[in-house]
Amino acid sequence: MSKKLSIIIPAYNEEKTIANVLEKVLEQNYTGWEKEIIIVNDASKDATEEKIKPFLDKVKYLKHSINQGKGSAIKTGLESMTGNAVIVQDADLEYDPADIQKLLDELDDRRDLAIYGSRNLHPERRGYSHYVLGSKVMDWFVNLFFWTHLTDVYTCYKLFPVEIIKKINIQSKGFELEMELTVKTLKMGYKIKEVPIHYYPRKFNEGKKIRARDGLKGIWALLKYRF
């Protein structure tokens, strides 16, 4: 029996890349899975919506009236998902949708763990050095508190079976969502398994949005949701 994968794509001012991302996601055929693509336009001020219009017959399209952040956009997408599992695809070109098959193969029919796509297992490319260091610090804290060996807590590619994701009452509005999902998953007693993925980091002048202050928010989220 075929299973359904819900792919949530939060988008904020991604006119340069959103069409290309949608084309790449739509052309993927994931073995044993059908796709449900959910786009959440987080009140973009550029031509993101115009770029999405040609795909409206193939996707679910949701829109915020005011910008609320990545966490809020994903929460909106989760409310309308109908899949057996869910993953987030960023609206830029940093992650390759073809790699999602690796995560699906690892999950298979399991409903008791989440699968993360790690940029740090056999890395080919890395982003800004200070962000790489910041990511390692996040991993170190999580591993310290939970006795795990995770290498990429802040990866976008987190594959959750619906049985787990629906138990997580998401509160984060921004990038600290990545920490909240990880902490709450581990705190509930579920395991997280990692598989290597490709990563094509973009620069700030290309639209990269995460900033150093988001790292501080991540540490606060770790402490908040752990204790």
Domain coordinates in residue numbering, the chain: 3-226
**pLDDT (tens digit, 9 = 90+) per residue, 76-123?**
999 999 999 999 999 988 999 999 999 999 999 999 999 999 999 877
Residues in the chain: 227
Token pair recorded at residue 27: 């052309």
Token pair recorded at residue 68: 């609320």
SS3 state of residue 18: helix
- Fold of domain 3-226: Spore Coat Polysaccharide Biosynthesis Protein SpsA; Chain A (3.90.550)
What pLDDT does residue 170 have? Answer: 94
Q: Which amino acid is located at 182 in the chain?
A: T
What pLDDT does residue 104 have? Answer: 98
What pLDDT does residue 207 have? Answer: 45
Closest listed residue to residue 78, CA positions, set 9, 4, 175: 9
User: What is the C-alpha separation between 173 and 163, in angstroms, rounded?
Assistant: 22
User: What is the C-alpha separation between 210 and 208, in angstroms, rounded?
Assistant: 6
Closest listed residue to residue 28, CA positions, set 7, 13, 46, 14: 7
pLDDT beneath 70, residues of the chain: 1, 124-132, 202-212, 214
Query: At 40, phi and psi to the nearest 5?
Result: -120, 105
What pLDDT does residue 208 have? Answer: 46
